[in-house]
Structure 1
Amino acid sequence: MPTLNHTPAFPGPVHAHWRAVAAAKGFDLIARIHDRFHLQLRCRHCSGAFTTKLFTLMRHQPLCPHCLAARRSAVAVAAGVSFLGPDPDRRGYGRFRAPCGHVLTRQFELIDRVAKGQTGLRCETCHAEREASEARRFGWERLGHCPSGQPNYRLYRHHCGHVQRIAQANMLWGQCDCAGCGRGWNAKPSFLYLFRIFLPATTDCPARQYLKLGYSAHPVKRHRHQLGLPRDAQVEVLRVLAMASGHLACRAEQAAHRRLIRAHPEAVVPAAELAGAMNVVREIYRPGLLPVLEAELDRIAAELDAKSGCM
């Protein structure tokens, strides 16, 4: 059986109206190939041959892969990279070689925006190497991205062996005291606290009651001098949980708030309601959430006991 470009020809008829449709769409119909469903076309623009389905030719506009690759190559050059080919695993993505020599996988639409100057393009490998170099200047080793998935944080190991997550911007400027061997707030003992706050009635508002979950090295000082409460406000310390360091307290508090806000959004007090009453307007909850907050602190305490072997 004859072959076309090393492709087996199919011995069926080639109808005249197929050729007419192909010509109207910018192609020459060379032959039927593989089976009764496939055709080989030649692009009249670039003279490149390619395979398409008969259905595609009759119902749609076939795309010449050679012309498409040429257009993508031109866009890639304008974006400052070299087009290597489409990504075999993801539709709409291509593989490109950056000026640094590394291969990037990006959406074609993104490369088009880069070529138009609407956005930039960053090599992850080079960026990670720069972050690792920045960390070494301050005695840290970059281990990778933050396990919690926060995009602006990375995981680092200090020269003392302590591992902690740090905001990448803080590492850039060296604002990264080690919670293991450092002397800053994040290395010193701290506390999680749970306050009940009573705000007396005013001419504009009735009496109000809120719950505040937070962390501080000095919980009493926190509510007396840092919340900005009116003089006649009352604060009841419902619970205090000791933490080994400010770093651990901050991490536990942030994780707790994420869980609480996700599970009980209706219990979060809107910032507008707190305006003028205190200088903290985030992570304040309705009094009905007290059992949930207590259970959250119980869970954190149980985790601390398990880690210290005191179960």
Structure 2
Amino acid sequence: MSLPSHLFGPMPSDPAIPATRRSSSAIDPSRVSDLPILRRVIPPLWQAMAASKGFDIRARVQDRTRLLLDCRTCGGVMVTRVFTVVNAKPQCPHCLAARRSAQAEAAGVVFLAPHPERVGYGVFRAPCGHELHRQFELIDRVARGETGLRCGTCLADREAEDARRIGWERIGPDPSARGPAGYRRLYRHTCGHVQSILAANVAWGQCDCAGCGDTWTARPSRIYLFDLRIPAAPGRPSRHWMKLGYSAHPVKRHRHQLGLPPEAAVKILRVVEMPTGHAARRAEEAAHRRLRRAHPEAVVPRVEFGDAINVTREIYHPTILQRLEAEMDRIQRERDDEAAKAISVPASP
């Protein structure tokens, strides 16, 4: 069996094959005669160990620690260390390359070579002609039909076309996005305003410019911190919670939108003015991510507040009031920093 030599490359590990990583290297049969042969005895124990693992020792080469092996499975030639033959299982790079090629073909791509820098990754050619750098484990799952595979270059092209269709220019991924927010991209509107938007919203045309638009995203908004207290009632204990959120009208929010019982006492602890609804939403979402990560025990579960308030999250126990205040400080500080940057950037002629 003969495979192109570029398929072997440096030997990255294969999660599905327990073997000593980078312990063996493929040899082109036509270049075997170029190897320096050591005229030394090959102990019968080494031959027996190699045979039990599917190989034959042809010679000792290069130095006293290396052996030239023939693979009994594919007939390929390889160089490996004595230690690997005796104490581990040699991994035939020819067989490995053949499996990866077959695996890639089943996944609908072409295996080009192991990644030169990232262990466990390969370089593949997608049907569109673009190169993909993907984990071998992912390609295996694609081949089994467990997941899909998409070309990042083609995806970026589609997103750019979606943006152009509605008057935006795709800049690239939003570097500040994490988790589900990782689907956000940075876009520049025809007015020059740069905004982070979910790519799916751009595809559907469901977005408005926070710089020149006339919807809530472009209008000023506020981030608030509420102290919520609901007295005890028959069959219901008293409740004391904190709520951090955003609204253009915080008072209207707690009086008419939260659905609190009439006896509830609400105190507005803090309000931070924000230039746009878009900026308020982004700052609020980032604050909640930090709070959930740092204080998961302080997040009030939905089952606890039930139908006492018309929200599904963003409610905290008062034990982290100091941290909530710190988040409001951070939001205000970042707002001021952004405003200072905007002033320092000269307007385009």
Give the TM-score normalised by structure 2: 0.82
For residues 177 and 41 of structure 2, the distance between their equivalents in structure 1, rounded to whole angstroms, comes to 59
* 1:154 Cα deviation from its structure 2 partner: 1.2
For residues 204 and 190 of structure 1, the distance between their equivalents in structure 2, rounded to whole angstroms, comes to 38
* 1:26 Cα deviation from its structure 2 partner: 2.8
For residues 258 and 279 of structure 1, the distance between their equivalents in structure 2, rounded to whole angstroms, comes to 21
The one-letter code matched in structure 2 to 1:149 is A
User: Which is worse superposed, 283-292 or 67-76?
Assistant: 283-292
CA RMSD of aligned residues (A): 2.0
Q: How many aligned residue pairs are there?
A: 308
* 1:92 Cα deviation from its structure 2 partner: 2.3
Aligned residue in 1 for 2:119: 91
* Partner of residue 305 from structure 2, selected from 274, 278, 283: 274
The one-letter code matched in structure 2 to 1:160 is C
Structure 2 spans left out of the alignment, 5+ residues: 1-30, 344-349
Superposition pairs for residues 174-193 of structure 1, below 5 Å? 174-193=205-224
Change (3 A) 1:59 1:185: same
Change (3 A) 1:187 1:55: same
The one-letter code matched in structure 1 to 2:207 is C
* 1:30 Cα deviation from its structure 2 partner: 1.3
Matched, 1:244 2:313: no
Aligned residue in 2 for 1:292: 323
Change (3 A) 1:291 1:129: same
* Partner of residue 118 from structure 1, selected from 139, 146, 149: 146
* 1:205 Cα deviation from its structure 2 partner: 2.3
Give aligned-pair identity as a percent.
60
* Partner of residue 190 from structure 2, selected from 148, 153, 159: 159
Aligned residue in 1 for 2:256: 225
**SS at 1:5 equivalent:** helix
* 1:172 Cα deviation from its structure 2 partner: 1.2
Aligned residue in 1 for 2:284: 253
Superposition pairs for residues 57-72 of structure 1, below 5 Å? 57-72=85-100
Structure 1 spans left out of the alignment, 5+ residues: none
* 1:163 Cα deviation from its structure 2 partner: 0.8
User: Which is worse superposed, 125-134 or 4-13?
Assistant: 4-13
* Partner of residue 5 from structure 1, selected from 4, 27, 33: 33
Superposition pairs for residues 8-27 of structure 1, below 5 Å? 8-27=36-55
Matched, 1:30 2:92: no
Structure scoring higher RCO (CA < 8 A, sep ≥ 6) equals 2
Change (3 A) 1:194 1:148: same
Change (3 A) 1:83 1:291: closer
